[in-house]
Amino acid sequence: MDWQALELTILLGIWTTAILLPFGVWLGRVLAWRDFPGKAVVEAAAALPLVLPPTVLGYYLLVALGGASPIGQLYRQVFGHLPVFSFEGLVIASVIFNIPFTVQPMQRAFEAIPREVREAAAVCGMSPWRSLLRIELPLAWPGILTALVLTFTHTVGEFGVVLMVGGSIPGETKTIAIAIYDRVQAFDLAAAGQMALFLLLLSLATIAVANAYTRRVLRH
Amino acid sequence: MDGLRLHARATAPIPLDAELEVGAGELVALLGPSGSGKSTLLRTVAGLYRPSAARVACNGEVWLDTARGVDLDPQRRHVGLVFQSYALFPHLSALDNVVAALGHLPRAERPARARELLALVHLEGLEARRPAQLSGGQQQRVAVARALAREPAVLLLDEPFSAVDQMTRQRLQRELAGLRRALRIPILLVTHDLDEATALADRICILHRGRTLQAGPPADVMQRPASAEVARLVGLRNLFRGRILGHEPPGATGERGRTWLGWGELRLEVHPRPALAVGTEVEWVVPPGHVVLHRRERPSRGEHENPVPGTIADLLVLGETMQVDLRPHADPEAVIAFSVPTHVGHRNGLAVGVSATVSLLADGIHLLPG
């Protein structure tokens, strides 16, 4: 078991999920309740990583974050190194790649809240913040939790984008999915099998626990 | 200025041309078919909808004035609103639903006040239940308690009785009638149910395609609709077309004047309306309550008043009343609708095809303006 890769993977999952939580709540609410010009384009863009091959997304990210791009150059000026082939670059790629897994369940969850219920909160005198915390988030919570679990497990298991943007630098960008690939390449099937099994059980357990919890929330 | 005042004009997306006044302690029913804009007006008052040109003021405080760029948030308008769907917070108990609207009180005082409000609507003992664990009538009561929690300046009720069964509806309506005596605020009730409006409201306001057509006490609107449109909207069936034949000035002996209305071959006596020129075509109505059946075997006094002979075209017995459609000889196209107690109908041998005569009481005949 490559503990370093495991730790890195979990860390990547936590960062990605933590960044996408507020973003997903914001974009999910906007897409659920507002109409604005260009909404269809935004929705399509947010869903794009679902259908795009990871290598295609990885390629564009590699170009966009690389030394030849303005973004990469700006990043290097501020942080002293390029985002590609670093953990930060991996987080950026992972956040972009996981947008649909976060936004779509959250959007559905907010859409399920009747308009009258939100209006009732306003008429009851609740400020938008209070309404968000007391009414909207509790009602959307099962959907938000689903989104977070999907995002986390999907990050843990991602391979293509991570390899394209991060390479396979131990302790920096080598996640467990890449470690498995690495072991298979080296004909170390025992180690690969061990890690694959661990990943399988982790994903299964996370989804099962989240589902059970969601069901309990919905029942009450 | 006490009470609620609303003006709204808009052409799109929802056409509006409405004026509304509700005094303190007054209950006004906004009545109209679905799609007439009732809920839109209610939402305009609450601050949930903004017509392109509108003004809403309550107790002299301006909530919305599009001309001056005033538009208070719903949070600052102090309205109590009972939604048609109740819109309770499904994840909160009945108590917490009411507490949610008590933000103006110190935190420690909220639960006690919420309990009082729930007791007011007869929900003692159910404070811990969630909306899904309450019946439709109980949910409606929670919604009323929550609407009253803010000590609102105006209470808005959007079809509050439409989602409960008949028995519960009658009980809730009685409770509302009792509750409103304790409230000194304007109450605006949106409904498409004429009986509900006439039973509960001090005044009704008829709304059609976003236009307020007539406002007044229910009996006035029912008996003296301002137009044929209103007459149709309040379901008046006895709407006919006639012609002014002449006027008779008041007699020297104190006898009041009268106007003669021609209807086919008949000459009907109506309240004096000397302003209408002889020969004018008018529409007129007579409420069913002012149609009196002549006893067939023993004619009596009072039958000189606008007797109309005809043939019974239809009969419908609804429990203790019998609804009768009479086709007058004067106008074979028309049908005079009225009702009699079922036993009276039977005693007089009423049946389809039988001849009968009714009197149209002059006091009840209303000539529609324009």
In this predicted model, what pLDDT tens digit does every residue of B298-337 receive, in sequence order? 665 556 789 999 999 999 999 999 999 999 998 888 999 9
Same-domain check for residues B319 and B202:
no
Residue B10 sits in a domain of what CATH number? 3.40.50.300
Residue A112 touches chain B, beta carbons under 8 Å: no
Which residues of chain B are at the A interface, by a Cβ-Cβ cutoff of 8 Å? 46-48, 73-75, 78-81, 83-85, 87-91, 100-101, 103-104, 130, 146, 149-150
Q: State what percent of residues in chain A have pLDDT above 70.
A: 99
Q: Clarify whether residues B115 and B223 are in a common domain.
A: yes
Span A99-142, pLDDT tens digits: 999 999 999 999 999 999 999 999 999 999 999 999 999 999 99
Q: Are residues B166 and B253 in the same domain?
A: no
pLDDT tens per residue, range A50-59: 899 988 998 9
Return the pLDDT at B126: 94
Within a 10 A sphere around the Cβ of A219, how many other Cβ atoms? 6
Is the pTM higher than 0.90? The answer reads no
Residue where a domain terminates, one of B186, B202, B233: B233
Nearest to B91 among A124, A127, A139 (CB): A139
Domain that holds residue B338: 239-367
CATH number at residue A18: 1.10.3720.10
Domain shared by B273 and B339, yes or no: yes
Nearest to B308 by CA among B326, B321, B324, B295: B326
Q: Which pLDDT value is given to residue A110?
A: 96
Taking Cα atoms as reference points, which of B207, B144, B215 lies closest to residue B175? B144
Average of per-residue pLDDT across B241-258:
84
Report chain A residues whose CB lies below 8 A from the CB of B89.
Answer: 117, 120-121, 135, 139
Same domain, B101 and B115: yes
d(CA A135, CA A120): 10
Give the residue numbers spanning the domain of A7. 3-219
Rounded to a whole number, what is the distance in Å from the CA of B117 to chain A's nearest CA?
Answer: 15
CATH number, position B341? 2.40.50.100
| Domain match, B202 and B293 both | no
Residue B33 has pLDDT above 90, yes or no: no
**Closest approach of chain B CAs to the CA of A12, in angstroms?**
34
- Non-local (6+) Cβ contacts of B354 within 8 A are B311, B312
Binary contact (A125, B150; C-beta < 8 A): yes
Q: What is the 3-state secondary structure (H, E, C) of chain A?
A: CCHHHHHHHHHHHHHHHHHHHHHHHHHHHHHHHCCCCCHHHHHHHHHHHHHCCHHHHHHHHHHHHCCCCHHHHHHHHHHCCCCCCCHHHHHHHHHHHCHHHHHHHHHHHHHCCCHHHHHHHHHCCCCHHHHHHHHHHHHHHHHHHHHHHHHHHHHHHCCHHHHHHHCCCCCCCCCHHHHHHHHHHCCCHHHHHHHHHHHHHHHHHHHHHHHHHHHHHHHC
CB spacing of A138 vs B74 below 8 angstroms: no
B82 lies in the same domain as B127: yes
Burial classification of residue A194, based on how many CB atoms lie within 10 Å of its CB (0-12 exposed, 13-18 middle, 19 or more buried): middle
8 Å CB contact of B89 and A119:
no
pLDDT at res. B116? 94
- The last residue of one of the domains, among B173, B199, B233, is B233
Average of per-residue pLDDT across A160-175: 86
Which candidate from A120, A125, A135 shows the least CB-CB separation from B104?
A125
Judge if B180 and B62 occupy the same domain: yes
Put simply, whether A170 touches B (Cβ < 8 Å) is no
Q: Which residues contact B205 (CB under 8 A, 6 or more apart)?
A: B20, B28, B29, B30, B31, B212, B214, B215
Q: Which residues of chain A have a CB within 8 Å of the CB of B130?
A: 220
Band of residue B164 on the pLDDT scale cut at 50, 70, 90: confident
Looking at the fold, whether B190 and B300 belong to one and the same domain comes out as no
Q: At B370, is the pLDDT very low, low, confident or very high (cuts 50, 70, 90)?
A: low
Alpha-carbon gap, residue A165 to A84, rounded angstroms: 6
Instruction: Among A116, A135, A220, select the one facing B83 at the smallest CB separation.
Output: A116
Residue of chain A minimizing CA distance to B104: A125
Q: Could you give the count of Cα atoms lying within 13 Å of B229 in the half-sphere of its Cβ?
A: 11
| B87-129 pLDDT per residue, tens | 999 999 999 999 999 999 999 999 999 999 999 999 999 999 9
Q: Which amino acid is at B99?
A: V
Closest chain B residue to A137 measured between Cα atoms?
B91
**Is the separation of the CB atoms in B54 and B62 below 8 Å?**
no
Q: How many structural domains is chain B composed of?
A: 2
- Residue B262 and residue B228 share a domain: no
Q: Averaged over B264-274, what is the pLDDT?
A: 89
Judge whether A123 is closer than 8 Å to chain B, CB to CB: yes
Cβ contacts of B91 on chain A, cutoff 8 Å: 138-139, 220
Q: Are residues B101 and B137 in the same domain?
A: yes
- Cβ B242 vs Cβ B261: under 8 Å: yes
Residue B298: the pLDDT is: 63
- Percent residues over pLDDT 90 in chain A: 60
What separation in angstroms does the CA of A78 have from each of A207, B48, B122? 39, 46, 66
Q: Please indicate whether, in this complex, the C-beta atoms of A124 and B88 are within 8 angstroms of each other.
A: no
Give the number of domains in chain A: 1
Cβ contacts (< 8 Å) between A122 and chain B: which residues?
Answer: 47-48, 73-75
The domain boundary, picked from B208, B233, B258, lies at B233
Q: Which of A114, A125, A138 sits opposite B87 (nearest CB)?
A: A114
Contact A122 B83 (CB under 8 A): no
pLDDT digits (tens, 9 = 90+) for A50-87: 899 988 998 999 898 888 889 888 988 888 888 888 89
Judge whether A122 is closer than 8 Å to chain B, CB to CB: yes
B338/B308 Cα distance (integer angstroms): 13
| CB distance B46 to B71 below 8 Å | no
